[in-house]
Amino acid sequence: MGKNSASTIPFYTFLSISSILFASHFHAYEAQTNVPIVKGLSYSFFSKTCPNLETIVRTQLQKVFKQDNGQAPGLLRIFFHDCFVQGCDGSVLLDGSPGERDQPANGGMRTEALQTIDNIRALVHKECGRIVSCADITVLAGRDAVFLSGGPDYPVPLGRKDGLSFNTKGTSNLPSPFNTTTVTLNTFAPKNLDVTDVVALSGAHTFGRAHCGTFFNRLSPVVDPTMDKTLAKNLKSTCPNANSGNVANLDIRTPTVFDNKYYLDLMNKQGLFTSDQDLINDKRTKGLVNDFAVNQNLFFEKFVDAFLKVSQLDVLTGNQGEIRAKCNVVNSKKSVLEDLVEEGMRLINQF
């Protein structure tokens, strides 16, 4: 897929953005949270063993986004699609025949963003040894994709291990752009994500683009009456049919910035997906849409809470899983032995 490829699924579905404004251009919002930490994770997990971890990740992503800003929503999508299927274990990163990435729900996943995760893994392992998982790097990359696009800055607990398998069937449970609010809420409920989490996570559609097929149902055979007429006219011009390879911005106001303008879109009938626009039509979610539209800090606060909840879904810790030598394949016996030798040499060199 090219740099402007887009996906067929929400938040869940960010594919590319035309440009990005780095966090230094914004007033940084540092979020506070009371979300509990699951056993085995810690905010200081690598403070002694890999103290420069987060600096390495953020510095590399600044370079990446300067060259290919479409990776920001792509990385956030990878984070969500990893965690939502069988927990934050890096399973979506694994190659398969087929694997999770080959399923319809993961259509259009940015190959460049996947490579960026493994490139960061290589930098981190060179600096610290093979002690940081691809799952942790995926979470950090998702967090920094938000921050470097103008969103909140916030710590994330670390210490995840990489899984040894993937789950293709689990991808059928990912949220769909065609869902009503009732279906969307029912999709998130098994993950213990409530209505506030759903509306906040939907706000990730404040940047990125999507293919025509993800919203053409609102244009044909008749225009969805809940869609702004001018927007519908413009989208029809962009998308002559559902199979068109063209893309449209998820947020027509500030499509490259992580802010609260997505909610203003919904208030003005300018949401792109059925799952987006229906949030303003459902009494369970309408109030939250209105609140987030007028209070960006409140949106940021609730988004951070929801992100942290997602980032801790069914994590592997301690003796579970492994630390992959490459993010797209599980370790071989040889790589495990090499890891032990490498770690032994590192310990010897410390004396």
Residues tagged in the binding site annotation for substrate: 175
Residue ranges of the annotated binding site are 82, 85, 87, 89, 91, 100, 175, 205-206, 251, 254, 259
Torsion angles phi and psi, residue 322, rounded to 5: -155, 175
Residues 21, 116: Cα–Cα separation, whole Å = 19
Residue 271 near residue 280, CB atoms below 8 Å = yes
Active site residues: 81
Helix axes 195-202, 283-294, angle to 10 degrees: 50
Residue ranges of the annotated binding site for heme b are 205
Residue ranges of the annotated binding site for Ca(2+) are 82, 85, 87, 89, 91, 100, 206, 251, 254, 259
Q: What angle do CA 149, 81, 210 make, to 5 degrees?
A: 60
Residue 290 near residue 265, CB atoms below 8 Å = no
Q: Residue 57 is which amino acid?
A: V
How distant, in Å, are the alpha carbons of 37, 209, 257, 260 from that of 253?
Answer: 35, 13, 9, 10
Torsion angles phi and psi, residue 140, rounded to 5: -65, -40
Q: What angle do CA 74, 78, 81 make, to 5 degrees?
A: 135
Torsion angles phi and psi, residue 153, rounded to 5: -105, 140
